[in-house]
């Protein structure tokens, strides 16, 4: 049975409901999604490698957790549900970071991003995820121009740097030791 999603305006107000297949083939139809950035106690970011059977970005490294908000579901409930479905983790420690609109040739999403810390263990969904791994932020930055990551994650990563570390979003490749900054930020939150 096909999944239905809410079509929303830029503020997240519901306009109508449509099948996922319709929404994912029409970038003019905005729908809500949640992302969770999961850091470990060392300040490394957990990434998931998308399954080879995914239609969008197969076998690319992506955000720790990401998924759609179901009709009638509030954002935080969706984030907790996705955390459980994708990583097998029940959490009450999600902290809201920011929201933004992401568009590509397939879809347009109003993304609500949260962060949390968790060192594992993880019981990840092997039908959607091939593997998971913690990455040092510096290693992500050094690899970002290669074809390892989904375009969605690249956008999320630069948004995170811009918003949370006050690094301009246009920042791409200059030398910058970010790992100690992230560890310090996580300790002070």
Tens digit of each residue's pLDDT (9 = 90 or more) over 32-57: 999 999 999 999 999 999 999 998 89
pTM: 0.86
Element (H, E) at 19: strand 14-19
Q: What is the pLDDT of residue 170?
A: 43
How many Å separate Cα 64 from the centre of its chain?
6
Percent of the chain at pLDDT > 70 equals 87
User: What does the pLDDT average to over 106-117?
Assistant: 96
Q: Report the distance separating Cα 52 and Cα 177, nearest Å.
A: 33
The DSSP 8-state label assigned to residue 23 in this structure reads: H
Strands 30-39 and 108-117: parallel
pLDDT tens digits for range 6-15: 999 999 999 9
Q: In total, how many domains does the chain have?
A: 1
Percent of the chain with pLDDT over 90: 75
Question: Binning pLDDT at 50, 70 and 90, where does residue 187 land?
Answer: very low
Averaged pLDDT of the chain? 88
For residues 150 and 64, give the distance between their C-alpha atoms in angstroms, rounded to a whole number: 12
Predicted pLDDT at 167: 54
Task: Provide the 8-state DSSP code for 148.
Answer: T
Least confident of 121-125, 140-144, 185-189: 185-189
Residue 185 confidence (pLDDT) = 42
Confidence (pLDDT) at 173: 38
Which tens digit of pLDDT belongs to each residue from 136-165?
Answer: 998 998 898 889 999 999 999 989 988 876
Count of CB atoms within 10 A of residue 128's CB?
14
CATH of residue 28's domain is 3.90.79.10
Could you give the CA distance from residue 142 to residue 137 in angstroms, rounded to a whole number? 9
Provide the residue range defining the domain that includes 102: 4-188
Closest to 91 in 3D by CA, of 150, 12, 34, 159: 34
The answer to whether residues 127 and 162 touch, using CB atoms and an 8 Å cutoff, is no
* Whole-number pLDDT of residue 166: 64
Q: Is the pLDDT of residue 168 over 60?
A: no
Integer Cα distance of 111 and 102 in angstroms = 7
The whole-number pLDDT of residue 179 equals: 41
């Amino acid at each position: 049975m096909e999944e239905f999603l809410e079509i929303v305006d830029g503020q997240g107000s519901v306009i109508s409901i449509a099948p996922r297949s319709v929404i994912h083939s029409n970038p003019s139809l905005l729908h809500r999604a949640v992302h969770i950035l999961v850091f470990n106690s060392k300040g490394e970011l957990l990434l998931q490698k998308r399954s080879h059977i995914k239609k969008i970005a197969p076998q690319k490294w992506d955000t720790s957790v990401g998924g759609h908000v179901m009709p009638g579901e509030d954002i935080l409930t969706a984030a907790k549900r996705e955390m459980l479905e994708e990583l097998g983790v029940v959490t009450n420690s999600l902290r809201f970071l920011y929201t933004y609109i992401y568009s590509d040739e397939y879809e347009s999403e109003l993304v609500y991003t949260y962060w949390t810390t968790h060192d594992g263990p993880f019981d990840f969904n092997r039908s959607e995820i091939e593997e998971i791994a913690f990455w040092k932020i510096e290693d992500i930055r050094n690899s970002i121009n290669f074809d390892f990551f989904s375009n969605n994650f690249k956008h999320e990563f630069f948004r995170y740097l811009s918003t949370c570390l006050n690094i301009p979003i246009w920042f791409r490749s200059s030398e910058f030791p970010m790992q100690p900054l992230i560890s310090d930020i996580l300790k002070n939150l």
